Amino acid sequence: MGAVAYLLGPITGIVLLLIEKENKYVRFHAMQSTILFGGIFVLNFFLGYIPVLGLMIAPLIGIASLILWIFLMYKAYSGEMYKLPYIGKIAEDQLAKLK
């Protein structure tokens, strides 16, 4: 279920956060997915309003997001509680606040 948290980015992350109340592993990956891919979505949205710079940076963010998405799904499927350097800490802090 940890890998499923990354399947549709923030959508499956939010759904799993609402459904899963006990499993800390699944909740962590769901929160990390929600924060990471929600942030990427917002970043791409605002880059769409910057004419030249947005057109140059958006494809790079898309490729990096795809690689990160595959990597995180693999790590979660392998049973590893992989924390991204900055986002992982934020996810843990947010989960602690939800208790």
The residue ranges of every structural domain in the chain are 4-98
Say which DSSP state 12 is in: H
18-32 pLDDT, tens per residue? 998 889 999 999 999
Residue 41 contacts residue 10 (beta carbons within 8 Å): yes
Task: Kindly write down the DSSP assignment for every residue of 35-88, as one continuous string.
Answer: HHHHHHHHHHHHHTTSHHHHHHHHHHHHHHHHHHHHHHHHHHHTT-----TTHH
Reduce the DSSP state of residue 64 to 3 states and report it: helix
Q: What is the pTM of this model?
A: 0.89
23-59 pLDDT, tens per residue? 999 999 999 999 999 999 999 999 989 888 888 998 9
